[in-house]
Structure 1
Amino acid sequence: MSRSVLGVRRQVPVAFHGTGAGDGELAWGQRAIWQAMHWLGDGNHFFNLARTITVPAGRGMAEVCAALRQVVERTEGLRTRFPGYPDDPRQQLHPEGTLDLVVHEVAQAADVDSAAEELARRLRGQVFRHEQEWPLRVGVVCRQDVPARLVLVISHLCVDGAALRQLCGDIAAALAAGGLGGADQAEPDGSATGPLALAQAESDPAGQARSTAAMRHWRSALTATSHSIFDFPTVTPDDPRFAGLTLESAALAVAAEHIAGRLRVTSSSVLLTAIAALLGHYTAHDQVTLQIIAANRQPELRATVAPLAQNGMFTTSVAGSPFDAAVRKVLRSSLDCFRHSAYDPRDLAALLEQVRVQRGAHPDREAFFNDARPDGRWSALPQLDPTPENLSRLREDTRLAVTDRYERLGIKSFWAVHPMADRAVLHLQVDTAYVPVATALLLMRGVEEIVVRAVHEPLILADLEGLTGVRPVRREEGWSRTAAGWAHVPSVAALVAGCPRLAASAVFADGGEAGPLVAYAVLAEPGLTVEDLHAELCAAVGERTDAVTPGHYVLCDSAPPPGSPLGDWQRQPVLAAGSGRPPQ
């Protein structure tokens, strides 16, 4: 373990006196991130966000404290606690309080940036106790009592990426002004864009209508595709199970910007097209669904320090399409996704339960895309003509590596474009049970290969195995396509057989006139209805991607011998039959 460069530690209290107080429900963006934090439990410090700000020369601790006081007093989210956290939080705005700064003195020879990084790791690695703690921790690295670096660790329950940039800008402006005013960028308390006001606006009729429209979009997307694009056999995962990979490529960025300019689209759409094509190819699905992280920052909300980002549902089919046409299609689908990306997460939870019962399968949504660049561009790319020769030379400097390992994440595939001025930084997190690291490396290289080739070739999104080396998954004997997607029939049969209220059962992939995936069963006790059986099997399926409930149930008075064919079951006296689903 490396030796700490942090020296003497002390606390400096900063008292603040703002205006406004109140209590209310979480806003939609707050509730969305709270759900993810609650799922992660004690590991949710993963969501803490850290930034370091250089303190301008000539500023002492008094000016640092004054600048922070000014920003906290003007920013409602920083004066908010969440009673009922972690299980059922509300937001409670406080007009006044005290923020304790953690101040470390470092030796003259110590590197202040290394000290700031160490302090950020310490502060970020602790879970916020939101019911009693402010959502902001501040550390100061000093040398000879002169502040050099300001370390901020902020809960994701208080900010998203855009809000964090706004907050850091507000603090930097206040520091530049010496804490004497001038941070006009921050929204004053009581504004129509504070978290409490947002929650109130979202609960009015216009807000509810917006959420309802978003749910229509989500329902259409969820029911038009497979319950999961990962409905295929898994492999033994790595330990730790989840991996993070990072690709750094100037060639990818130059090529994406060139195509975007040629087609008059965003470079984000270019990257997403290649990703969607490869995901569809690898999972053997023509229709691909991903959740896209949407900023949801309308012009009137651009300066709001609150989490507004939510997941939008994106679906597209680009297999076999010319690349340029696919990009335009992806852009249209993305815009439709963004139009319906603000909603009440409770409405989505209710919809997901309806879809789960109706389809008899967990609506898996664990493929993601997030373009985290503030303006969706690269500002300092190499200035050169993107000829094949120049792109080839740039690719010689491409770097790709496994950079992270995680014990637990709520994803199967998460693609992110990270901010970097002079190159594309593409990060991919995968569940190695579904996407082995060797495949993930090929997928990352494949994105670069597709986009670079599309600069000069009339690329068709077909035969991607030959182009990228990515092999599609294989569904061997026993897998069958159902109305909800692919399912492993022996696994479904085992689920049905495991129901304690059944004396005998059999599942057939082809049920004849009854359709695909039919279950025949004899009750172990009277009174069980087809609807009851379906509900129990939905619970048994849980979040599995290899199993769905049968599409049709037949409850019989008696059973033929074990292993009997479909015809023998069809000759048994029938007590009840049906899908078990509620009427649509």
Structure 2
Amino acid sequence: MDIRFSGSRSGTAPLTWGQRAIWDAIRKTAPDDHYFNFGRVLAVPRRARPLTVARAAEVLGVLVERHESLRTRLSAGLSTGLETSVGTGPGAAPSPRVPAQTGGQDGGAEPAQVLGTAGSIPLTVSRDDPERLMEELAATPFDYAGEWPLRVGLVVGENDAGDETVTHIVLVFCHLAADGLGAEVAITDLRLLLLRGAVPGPTPPSPLDLARWQRSEPGLRVARVAAEHWEREYRRIPPTMFDRRVAAPEGPPIWRAQLVSRALDLAVQRIAAVYGTSTSTVLLAASSVLVCAVTGHEVCAMLPIVGNRFRQDAAQAVTTLSQEGLFVLDVGGRSFAEVLRAAKPAALRAYRSAYHDPGDRDRLTERVSRERGTRVHPYCCFNDMRFIDRVDASHDERTVRLAMEETTLTWPLSQDQLNCRFCLHVTGEGGGLGVSLTADTRYLPKEAMERYLRDLESLLVEAAFHETLEPVG
């Protein structure tokens, strides 16, 4: 069975800033660009059961009609001028496949976004575990021009009466269509559609609407302010944080190590509460300290992934708004408490810089790189993927240190290509805080990756109880 949809308009437009940013990352990571696919699992609410496959497909069609990004693909060779064309009709014409290696500054003409009106999305029905089904649906790259940017699976079982019913709905997103926060909006809307049959409130802006605003005078003003920050900091940071190849890879060069630590979770909560900041800022500061320790630099330049949902009209948009900001922190000669105090305003500057035009960033990168006589790019990323932040100063030292005995470290991923050399991801896990380090082992070998994560835990546990942490007045 397919999910069938019929929207109210079609059109073409240049890529939004968020789409251009993720497209650049996708094409640099191909053929391993399935790395950017991600999914969500919705357990069907009891009040929506029994749910037939046909009814689930109908509801999912309404979801795709509401959020235009879920029926927006790429097309090579279309206009990428400043205008946005929007029309109505039976749907966009089929687009040629856009290989992941094309598009952007050094890969040929940038593709445009194409909004389709009508179509269908294949539906996978399974009795498998929903998490396993999500992994299977996300395991291959999207065809960015020929495939709709959403894959859907239904997990079915039998209810007490022996009737088949849908128990879980699995959504896998192309990152061009949604980021993590956008996916949460889609899941919330899907739940409402199952329970109430409708989503209250106006339809949020689509990527076509965002592309128009970003090319307006208010959007250009935002872009100019961000570009000034990038250019100013690019003139003083190390050209790249990981600038020396130190080892030959064993097998694929890209590996991921994941630390899951309840002790780290409790320690970070305590530090954030005492200091009066977020746990994300604490982790960003500590990560920067250790990056400088590994690389020998006194200034850390890190690229945090920022949600960019500060504008009220975009808060409920299902699209990709997340972009890299530029976080710069002077670490050399400072205590960890001093680094923490400096990290708070530095993080705010980084968040403001994240809503930027990637074209501006490309141009200033080329200009500053020519002036400095070397390529300037941090190749050092930080992505806090949690949606809830807890702070709590009450955790005692004995509890935290005992929790260190529960810490686990695994190696869940290896691959050949990545558009970065050091990527730190923070997630909430059942056993505590998850910190994943994906790195190019030619610049940071596997043993150094493990040592980095262990040191991060030790640094923050020590800081939680033996560092002089003074709240900002």
TM band (smaller chain): 0.7 to 0.9
Equivalent residue in structure 2 for 1:134, among 144, 148, 161: 148
Q: Distance in 2 between matches of 1:395 and 1:194?
A: 45
Q: Distance in 2 between matches of 1:321 and 1:29?
A: 35
Q: Say if 2:304 and 2:325, in contact at 8 Å, map to a contact too.
A: yes
Find the counterpart in structure 2 of residue 94 from structure 1: 116
Q: Distance in 2 between matches of 1:166 and 1:231?
A: 39
Q: Distance in 2 between matches of 1:35 and 1:225?
A: 23
Q: Distance in 2 between matches of 1:384 and 1:207?
A: 41
CA deviation after TM superposition for structure 1 residue 459, in Å: 6.2
Find the counterpart in structure 2 of residue 23 from structure 1: 12
Q: Distance in 1 between matches of 2:347 and 2:17?
A: 21
Find the counterpart in structure 1 of residue 290 from structure 2: 278
Secondary structure, counterpart of 1:419 in structure 2:
strand
Q: Distance in 2 between matches of 1:273 and 1:121?
A: 32
Find the counterpart in structure 2 of residue 229 from structure 1: 241
Find the counterpart in structure 2 of residue 204 from structure 1: 216
Q: Say if 1:238 and 1:433, in contact at 8 Å, map to a contact too.
A: no
Moved more, 289-298 or 322-331: 322-331
Q: Distance in 1 between matches of 2:153 and 2:330?
A: 48
Secondary structure, counterpart of 2:354 in structure 1:
coil
CA deviation after TM superposition for structure 1 residue 135, in Å: 0.8
Find the counterpart in structure 2 of residue 164 from structure 1: 183
Q: Distance in 2 between matches of 1:100 and 1:213?
A: 43
Find the counterpart in structure 2 of residue 3 from structure 1: none
Q: Distance in 1 between matches of 2:131 and 2:276?
A: 40
Find the counterpart in structure 2 of residue 445 from structure 1: 454
Find the counterpart in structure 2 of residue 405 from structure 1: 414
CA deviation after TM superposition for structure 1 residue 401, in Å: 2.9
Q: Does 1:425 align with 2:461?
A: no
CA deviation after TM superposition for structure 1 residue 316, in Å: 0.6
> Which has the bigger relative contact order, CA under 8 A and spacing at least 6?
2
The one-character-per-residue Cα deviations of 1:152-195 (angstroms, maximum 9, x if unpaired) are 12100000011011111211221233xxx23226x52xx5x211
CA deviation after TM superposition for structure 1 residue 78, in Å: 1.2
CA, structure 1 residues 132+53, in 2 after alignment: closer, same or farther (shift >3 Å)? same
CA, structure 1 residues 287+404, in 2 after alignment: closer, same or farther (shift >3 Å)? same
Q: Distance in 1 between matches of 2:210 and 2:422?
A: 31
The one-character-per-residue Cα deviations of 1:488-526 (angstroms, maximum 9, x if unpaired) are xxxxxxxxxxxxxxxxxxxxxxxxxxxxxxxxxxxxxxx
Q: Does 1:68 align with 2:60?
A: yes
CA, structure 1 residues 137+347, in 2 after alignment: closer, same or farther (shift >3 Å)? same
Aligned length: 430
Q: Distance in 1 between matches of 2:32 and 2:405?
A: 38
Amino acid at match of 1:70: V
Q: Say if 2:37 and 2:175, in contact at 8 Å, map to a contact too.
A: yes
Percent of paired sites with the same residue: 29
CA deviation after TM superposition for structure 1 residue 96, in Å: 2.1
Q: Distance in 2 between matches of 1:448 and 1:364?
A: 27
Secondary structure, counterpart of 1:42 in structure 2:
coil
Which residues of 2 match residues 233-252 of structure 1 at below 5 A? Answer: 234-252=246-264
Equivalent residue in structure 1 for 2:23, among 34, 46, 60: 34
Q: Does 1:152 align with 2:171?
A: yes
Gaps of 5+ in 2: 77-97, 104-109, 159-163
CA deviation after TM superposition for structure 1 residue 30, in Å: 0.8
Amino acid at match of 2:263: A
Equivalent residue in structure 2 for 1:119, among 133, 138, 141: 133
Find the counterpart in structure 2 of residue 571 from structure 1: none
Secondary structure, counterpart of 1:164 in structure 2:
helix
Query: How does the TM-score come out when normalised to structure 1?
Result: 0.70
CA, structure 1 residues 458+15, in 2 after alignment: closer, same or farther (shift >3 Å)? closer
Amino acid at match of 1:102: T
CA deviation after TM superposition for structure 1 residue 357, in Å: 1.3
Q: Say if 2:32 and 2:416, in contact at 8 Å, map to a contact too.
A: no
Amino acid at match of 1:100: P
Q: Say if 1:235 and 1:433, in contact at 8 Å, map to a contact too.
A: yes
Q: Distance in 1 between matches of 2:304 and 2:249?
A: 26
Find the counterpart in structure 2 of residue 414 from structure 1: 423
Find the counterpart in structure 2 of residue 367 from structure 1: 380
Q: Say if 1:281 and 1:319, in contact at 8 Å, map to a contact too.
A: no
Secondary structure, counterpart of 1:390 in structure 2:
helix
Moved more, 323-332 or 396-405: 396-405
Q: Distance in 2 between matches of 1:131 and 1:233?
A: 36
Find the counterpart in structure 1 of residue 157 from structure 2: 143
Larger Rg: 1
Q: Distance in 1 between matches of 2:349 and 2:430?
A: 28
Equivalent residue in structure 1 for 2:195, among 176, 183, 194: 176
Gaps of 5+ in 1: 1-11, 107-111, 461-584
Q: Say if 1:245 and 1:403, in contact at 8 Å, map to a contact too.
A: yes
Find the counterpart in structure 2 of residue 194 from structure 1: 206
CA deviation after TM superposition for structure 1 residue 430, in Å: 1.4
CA, structure 1 residues 459+232, in 2 after alignment: closer, same or farther (shift >3 Å)? farther
The one-character-per-residue Cα deviations of 1:289-339 (angstroms, maximum 9, x if unpaired) are 111111101133211100000001111112332322211211110100111
CA, structure 1 residues 356+245, in 2 after alignment: closer, same or farther (shift >3 Å)? same
Find the counterpart in structure 1 of residue 92 from structure 2: none
Q: Say if 1:291 and 1:367, in contact at 8 Å, map to a contact too.
A: yes
